Amino acid sequence: MTDSDTLVHDPQGGLPRLLEIMRRLRDPQTGCPWDIEQDFASIAPYTIEEAYEVADAIEREDWDDLEAELGDQLLQTVYHTQMGTEAGLFTFDSVANRISDKMIARHPHVFGNDPRGKSAEQQTRDWETIKAAERAAKAARGTLDDVALALPALTRAVKLQKRAARVGFDWPEIGQVVDKIAEEARELTEARDRLGRTEIEEEFGDLLFVIANLARHLKLDPEEALRAANAKFTRRFAGVEARLREMGKRPEESSLEEMDALWNAEKAREKP
Mean pLDDT of the chain: 90
121 within domain boundaries: no
pLDDT of residue 3: 84
pLDDT of residue 183: 95
pLDDT of residue 270: 83
Residues 266 and 184 in one domain: no
For residues 119-138, give the mean pLDDT: 71
Residues 91 and 164 in one domain: no
What is the per-residue DSSP string for the chain? --HHHHHHT-TT-HHHHHHHHHHHHT-TTTS-HHHHH--HHHHHHHHHHHHHHHHHHHHTT-HHHHHHHHHHHHHHHHHHHHHHHHTTS--HHHHHHHHHHHHHHH-HHHHSSS-TT--HHHHHHHHHHHHHHHHHHTT-SSTTTTS-TTS-HHHHHHHHHHHHHHTT-S-SSHHHHHHHHHHHHHHHHHHHHHS-HHHHHHHHHHHHHHHHHHHHHTT--HHHHHHHHHHHHHHHHHHHHHHHHHTT--GGGS-HHHHHHHHHHHHHHH--
| 139 confidence band (pLDDT: 50, 70, 90) | low
16 within domain boundaries: yes
Residues 38 and 84 in one domain: yes
Residues 215 and 234 in one domain: no
Residues 213 and 242 in one domain: no
pTM above 0.95, yes or no: no
Residues 99 and 7 in one domain: yes
Residues 98 and 19 in one domain: yes
Please tell me which residue, 63 or 135, carries the higher pLDDT value: 63
Residues 12 and 72 in one domain: yes
Q: What is the CATH number of the domain that holds 214?
A: 1.10.287.1080
Structural domain span for residue 246:
224-270
Determine what percent of the chain is predicted with pLDDT higher than 90.
64
Which of these, 80, 15, 22, 25, lies nearest to 48 by C-alpha position?
80
Count: domains in the chain: 3
235 within domain boundaries: yes
Residues 151 and 167 in one domain: yes
68 within domain boundaries: yes
Residues 72 and 98 in one domain: yes
Residues 199 and 239 in one domain: no
132 within domain boundaries: no
Whether the predicted pLDDT of 116 surpasses 80: no
